[in-house]
Copies of this chain bind each other. A is one copy, B any other.
């Protein structure tokens, strides 16, 4: 397994109020580890849209810094004009990816911070940067807490299935589902992680394997289609995934493929854990059926490594997410503790305790 390495970081704000955002270009992993410097909103919007930065928590933090970036030249405006410009820019950033809710929650927090900050546009802009930094730090702290809570559910000797990428590169900290697995490993539990490759964009093959090996874990890569057989063979004792949005009843939108895994896990009595910060919960949505599902470009399915794998002009259905009904979710691990069914009540309590803090 080799030496344990420092985890790669998804993003880093460089400098002060007139600084810029450095992003690792995750579309080029694992072959190429290269950062891009985002100095304006256009480049950041493109980076989020093209999944150069991805993972609901990381997107939320990146978009927050995007608001700071986009308003750097607006500090000479009157305060009201600054706020008006902020609202326009925030709307634009919200439209970038419709399924994840952290993006909206983060931008809400930033907008509130600027409104509440009295005085000049420059002071409001400084408040935005402070709020973005606070969100980044909060996400890192939330990852630590989720890792601790979640690792209690993982036992020595287990095989654990995971999907997509939910490690440091999907967050501003140690990750969500992968954070749990790395923490369990550091507790001395011998676990083997089965990582689904996660078509179409292969975040599991490209990024999860990289992060887990860097952290010293035993990882086995498989095609998404092999997960059911891996369960049938008794190789895994739990499945652990992240989330992009969780409805008030506990239904979970996550990377396409999650639902199929959850149904198979439920059919075999394999515990299915979702690990996500409280900011992933959208109490305004009564159930998962109201979550908008982003549909992405057919080329993601028909082109691979520059080659074409399907006849020209074949129609493609490429939903980026699916919705797992709460009945298939054993528990939701948050930084406020582990939520268990019935989720409606558990989620209300978690949100209230958070408001109270």
Contact = CB atoms under 8 A, between A and B. Distances in A.
A264 to B, nearest CB: 5
Interface stretch (A55-63, A71-79, A198-206, A276-284): A198-206
Contact of A202 (B226, B309, B317): B309
A331 B267 CA distance: 21
A310 B30 contact: yes
B221 A224 contact: no
Determine which residue in A213, A223, A315 has the highest number of CB atoms from chain B within 10 A of its CB, and name it: A223
Contact of A199 (B213, B225, B267): B225
A197 B301 contact: yes
B264 A219 contact: no
A145 B64 CA distance: 62
A26 interface: no
Interface stretch (A110-118, A241-249, A318-326, A341-349): A318-326
A25 B304 CA distance: 20
Contacts of A224: 199, 223-225, 257
Contact of A222 (B266, B267, B318): B318
Contact of A311 (B210, B232, B263, B293): B210
B317 A205 contact: no
A135 interface: no
Interface SS of chain A: helix, strand, loop or mixed? mixed
Interface residues of A, number: 54
A293 B228 CA distance: 14
A225 B228 CA distance: 11
What copy number does this chain have within its complex? Answer: 2
Contact of A307 (B209, B305, B311): B305
Contact of A259 (B199, B200, B229): B229
Contact of A225 (B256, B263, B314): B256
A260 interface: yes
Contacts of A306: 305-307
Interface of A: 30-31, 194, 196-200, 202, 205-206, 209-210, 213, 219-230, 232, 256-257, 259-260, 263-264, 266-267, 293, 301-302, 304-311, 314-319, 322-323
21 contacts: A196-B225, A197-B309, A197-B310, A199-B199, A199-B224, A205-B301, A205-B310, A206-B309, A209-B311, A213-B314, A221-B314, A223-B224, A224-B257, A226-B257, A228-B259, A229-B259, A304-B304, A304-B305, A305-B305, A305-B307, A307-B307
